[in-house]
Structure 1
């Protein structure tokens, strides 16, 4: 698997595939400077070779992984949006509309906070 398209075709449910494709297209439009890649069998977006946000798929949701510090910082907004999370991911249920405002805030924070980061992950 080398591209996001390769990842998407492996999603069996066509509605889930379409929803995640919409999310990826939105990211590409909103943040054209981000690069997409597949690593650890998951689609992710990077900025100057540093991790910004990653995605995975489960039966009831897709998960967004922006790194633990971001989830901690936005924990109240995540709860207010009706999402659940662990220390490392936020669950976006397939049966709810995507909260693009929250997604934008997560990505913008990581781009800004990691502007001078010289490693893939935060240290």
Structure 2
């Protein structure tokens, strides 16, 4: 059984479910080396046991969680794509196109930046 099947089946709105499935399938196809994991009520992808990116569904959007460090490198690209954001996530509205180039850049950045990471989350540096 696919690790995300139950999650997807619980998304009531069919168009929202399909949008999330499309994104998850795209990540899996584009980054076949990443591992799928369902934790903290969200589908996520990991690399050598470290978090790379996660997704969740809200009423009006899909939240994309690439971990907090993404802000420095990508906030201007997220804003240029028309997506709202917080410090840990950005939101793709169900009425917006998915910017797969942006997702690809974020995932590639996290894979490279965390290649030597030995923990699930990045350690905070004060």
The superposition leaves residues 29-81 of structure 1 with CA deviations (integer Å, 9 ceiling, x where unpaired) of 10000011111111100000000001111000010000111123201000000
In the TM superposition, 1:1-123 aligns within 5 A as: 3-123=3-123
TM superposition shift of 1:3 = 2.0
Q: Give, in whole Å, the separation in 1 of the partners of 2:24 and 2:109.
A: 18
SS at match of 1:46: strand
In the alignment, structure 1 segments of 5+ residues that lack a partner are none
TM-score computed with the length of structure 1 as normaliser: 0.96
Kindly report the root-mean-square deviation, in angstroms, between the aligned alpha carbons of the 2 structures. Answer: 1.0
In the alignment, structure 2 segments of 5+ residues that lack a partner are none
Q: Give, in whole Å, the separation in 1 of the partners of 2:21 and 2:57.
A: 12
- Where has structure 1 moved over 3 Å in runs of 4 or more? none
Q: Give, in whole Å, the separation in 2 of the partners of 1:88 and 1:26.
A: 22
Q: Give, in whole Å, the separation in 1 of the partners of 2:33 and 2:74.
A: 23
